[in-house]
Structure 1
């Protein structure tokens, strides 16, 4: 197995946080326990997905507020919050509040564009302004300005017995440097770089200049860093679906193999009018997965990962996968658990 030029610096994981609509408390509690487990295993980061009108995490900021009170060290991220559903000023207040409660551990990942199924949801979401809402990059630029402490109001001072600020309160120093953009295109990667954000690249990209997933992802990483003030040291986090099987039972290995096999057809060619290209899930022993990652053109230029957990597995499956990541795959990539 080839050795990496640089060891993996940060190992994180990403969960969707599914729940049974008949018992949503149990699902949310399971996600919080998973984050606690990740901290005990030495992971650097725990990330949650965002799902509106589905049986997944609808309010990741609220979830991470709860997680911040049950953990002390692990970084807490969102991958990603779609800003088409959000008011940037209000979100800036929530993010700053949770960042302070966490002790500066929040890593919000963001994206822009119209909400999914917008024609079906617009009357509920924006009944009076749907045709005037701006879902462009300007929406995330507004959030950036508010988080960075630029004015949000034309008034500050005392009125009666109340004191008002012209910028978002509370202000969380350092939060702006921990904002991430989740991009799937060259345009998004370059925009995030020019605006000084960090960059999340996942297992889904647009097939623009190539149909090879690794080549596409590498072009995004390089386009991002080419425009970023920090250049080649700008932070990039990769989020492939990774399933190590070192300590899995025979039944688990069979289930995982069936899951990966069922998802393979979508990885063979770009999908839909947007030509979305999906990466195959990585399944095998830690040594086998590490070898595949070392051969991955984009991974070789990245030192942070947030490996995505499969959507529909059981808590005992996630425990096995996280344990193997922390004790097998991470060390095979040169990473060491926190405190070791």
Structure 2
């Protein structure tokens, strides 16, 4: 059995960036302030969840670009961008541009296959070619190739034109190292193994496929992480980040605690029950003091396989709630898990 990690080395948080459709600027500003606050608290990373035709972040690359100019150290990631709605060539240009602007702090995460709720907007993206599109793993391999700076077909021999315009053989700008910072969001054993075989980092979230014959979320997650590392070139040092909803209440007001309890109770019915043909399992939201949550995590088989996390913020809370939750994660929960700010170099 793989030995448990001794301490949490990297602490991140994930936000969906909800906004009021009548006033979208305010919501996006709130997200940017939250990222700034996270950096001040010492968080190692801030992650943006991608949402299409919803009142959340639809363009995380643009938000990361803005955040890169308001922060200095914190890594900025996506968890995850569904590649089924992206053009890998154009996305490579955008990501590399933002990575250059950020000083090499972009850590993008992706998923492949049909995106969530794809039927709602598929025809808007592919009105005539949806059936011909390959939405599988190859899409991510193409993106990585572009980010690596591999030659792009005929452009490899593109000459100066009329002595004025000069063409590159690769996607520009090129940001060295970005291709090595790609994460893959896997929910199944097959995807976890594929990510490992191809040398990606692994994002494992609060929703995974139940495949080991039990409805226990943690044991299924632990097996996926181990399967990923078994085939990864880096073996046991291959990076895995776990995403769970944690809500420490150490400095919460009574009204906040009541609101958080209502949120957790509204979602508790889905825990421990397989959903749909893929038998999807949902992790329980963790609510309590930092000490109580740390004790539960130390007993969690999935958490024992990782040494970095991207704790997901609950949906649709108020800015003051997120400030309190982030403050308690960085000030109490992280240290209880062995984390200290600035304990590693950005990578």
1:187 matched residue in structure 2: 190
Residues 3-50 of structure 1, C-alpha deviation per residue, up to 9 Å, x if partnerless? x75111000000000000000000000000000000000000000100
Normalised TM-score (structure 1): 0.97
Residues 140 and 330 of structure 1, relative CA distance in 2, 3 Å threshold: same
Instruction: Give 3-state SS (helix, strand or coil) of 1:131's partner.
Output: helix
Residues 117-148 of structure 1, C-alpha deviation per residue, up to 9 Å, x if partnerless? 33442221111211100011011111111111
Unpaired segments of 5 or more residues in structure 2? none
1:332 to 336, 342, 347: 336
The within-5 A match list for 1:148-227 is 148-155=148-155, 156-160=158-162, 161-209=164-212, 210-227=214-231
1:232 matched residue in structure 2: 236
Instruction: Give 3-state SS (helix, strand or coil) of 2:79's partner.
Output: strand
Shift of residue 63, structure 1, vs aligned partner: 0.3
Unpaired segments of 5 or more residues in structure 1? none
Shift of residue 338, structure 1, vs aligned partner: 2.8
Residues 81-121 of structure 1, C-alpha deviation per residue, up to 9 Å, x if partnerless? 00000000110111111011000000000001123333442
1:8 matched residue in structure 2: 8
Instruction: Give 3-state SS (helix, strand or coil) of 2:153's partner.
Output: coil
The within-5 A match list for 1:9-28 is 9-28=9-28
Contact 1:47 1:76 (8 Å CA) reproduced = yes
The within-5 A match list for 1:35-74 is 35-74=35-74
Shift of residue 153, structure 1, vs aligned partner: 2.8
162-171 or 67-76: bigger deviation: 162-171
Residues 13 and 129 of structure 1, relative CA distance in 2, 3 Å threshold: same
2:303 to 287, 299, 313: 299
Equivalent pairs counted in the alignment come to 337
1:147 matched residue in structure 2: 147
20-29 or 118-127: bigger deviation: 118-127
**Separation in 2 of the partners of 1:233 and 1:338?**
20
121-130 or 247-256: bigger deviation: 121-130
Contact 1:243 1:284 (8 Å CA) reproduced = yes
1:132 matched residue in structure 2: 132
265-274 or 234-243: bigger deviation: 265-274
**Separation in 1 of the partners of 2:42 and 2:134?**
41
Normalised TM-score (structure 2): 0.95
Residues 313 and 97 of structure 1, relative CA distance in 2, 3 Å threshold: same
2:98 matched residue in structure 1: 98
Contact 2:217 2:272 (8 Å CA) reproduced = no
**Separation in 1 of the partners of 2:289 and 2:159?**
61
**Separation in 1 of the partners of 2:103 and 2:311?**
24
Runs of 4+ in 1 over 6 A off after TM superposition: none
Instruction: Give 3-state SS (helix, strand or coil) of 1:107's partner.
Output: strand
Aligned CA RMSD, in angstroms, stands at 1.3
2:281 matched residue in structure 1: 277
